[in-house]
Copies of this chain bind each other. A is one copy, B any other.
Amino acid sequence: MAGNSFGEVFRVTTFGESHGDGVGAVIDGCPPWISLSPGDFVRDMARRRPGRDSLVTPRSEEDRVEILSGVFEDLTTGAPITLFIRNRDVDARPYEILRRLFRPGHGDYTYFKKYGHFDFRGGGRYSARETAARVAAGVVAGKILEPLGVKVVAYTLELGGIRAGCIDLDLIDKSPFYCPDPVSSQRMEEAVSNTRKEGDSLGGIAEIRVIGCPAGLGEPAFDKLDADLAKAVMSVGTVKGIEIGAGFEAARFKGSKNNDPITPSGFGSNRAGGILGGISNGDEILLRAAMKPIPSISQEQDTVDREGHPAKMSFTGRQDIAPIPRVIPVLEAMVKIVLADHYLRSKTILKEEPIESSIFAKTPIW
């Protein structure tokens, strides 16, 4: 109801604020017997952590995941798994100005209208800090997908208008921006550096691929796989647009071009982005997310105070210049959570022996 949970069988509830004790997640519905230990979280938490690229954000965080429940002797037990990430290095001083003023582009004003208050210490609940809990939960989701051979990879397609010219998945981790094209990555670095000097910020586009997803995940009506992916990704604060497969381009194709031909060896193209009728078709799932620039900028902006009087504000706290690269592991996590959930959901359909009938055929293809 209050919307802090996601998923049906694999159900993640996040909690915590940017300047409180910490952030965390309770995962209910994770099967037992899955190996899980604090070390499993290190890589993704580090990828989300700022400071990896010194150009992007100077804030230093050490995001160690504590497992408070649900794991015994490094195996999940079937009980709810609680992950907790303590806040450190939380200097709320730059946020003092928020006691009076609403930041343009932030949720300060809408929180104030909804709850009658907002947390002046950097956003509180709606801070991007909450996504640390999502990344941690995504690691657990990944443990369910791994034995199935499902791999989720996100990377930067575009940053500040600079688009990757080629896509080599092996190069992603070599780029501070998770950009699969080294040349573009270099140009992105310059763009970020210049934008920082201007006191401004940048947006970008990420692309996410799911490799090895089995056919049959997703539900026909409202919980289509693409619908749940769209919600998952759009629930990341910075995202303003989503595409599946050909996306907006499909709107300009004719049917004869947009339809992926079916051949004995698989689909002849992948404009569908791996999903047909809301259900995965066994091909690569492909989606893109457009992200707005970080709203906190040091340039002076027009705003009002809590009484509605006009004011000027410029933000001096340590901030990212772009949601990229930190959002990349968050997007991966959300996609993994959707897939793990739909995979477990798919198990509730009984596999009885098919009966011969006009609509029920016995022979599977591929």
Are B243 and A241 in contact (CB-based, < 8 A)? yes
Q: Is A149 an interface residue (CB 8 A)?
A: no
Are B276 and A110 in contact (CB-based, < 8 A)? yes
A114–B229 Cα gap in the complex (Å)? 18
Interface residues on A, range: 35 or more
Q: Is A212 an interface residue (CB 8 A)?
A: no
Q: Is A178 an interface residue (CB 8 A)?
A: no
Q: Is A358 an interface residue (CB 8 A)?
A: yes
- Decide: A350 near B31, CB < 8 A? Known: A79-B15, A273-B240: yes
Q: Is A73 an interface residue (CB 8 A)?
A: yes
The residues of B that contact A240 with a CB separation of less than 8 Å are: 226, 243-248, 250-251, 273
Taken residue by residue from 95 to 131, chain A's Cβ proximity to chain B (1 for < 8 Å, 0 otherwise) reads as 0000100101111111111111111100111100010
Taken residue by residue from 305 to 347, chain A's Cβ proximity to chain B (1 for < 8 Å, 0 otherwise) reads as 0111110000000000000000000000000000000001111
Are B261 and A297 in contact (CB-based, < 8 A)? no
- Decide: A260 near B104, CB < 8 A? Known: A26-B13, A80-B2, A350-B31: yes
Q: How many copies does the complex hold?
A: 4
Taken residue by residue from 347 to 361, chain A's Cβ proximity to chain B (1 for < 8 Å, 0 otherwise) reads as 111101011011111
Picked from B77, B99, B223, B297, the residue with its CB within 8 Å of the CB of A125 is: B77
A307–B2 Cα gap in the complex (Å)? 39
Of the 9-residue stretches A4-12, A45-53, A57-65, which lies at the interface with chain B? A4-12
A20–B77 Cα gap in the complex (Å)? 12
Are B79 and A255 in contact (CB-based, < 8 A)? no
Q: Is A202 an interface residue (CB 8 A)?
A: yes
The residues of B that contact A279 with a CB separation of less than 8 Å are: 107, 110-111, 113-114
- Give the residue among A66, A160, A279 with the most B Cβ atoms within 10 A: A279
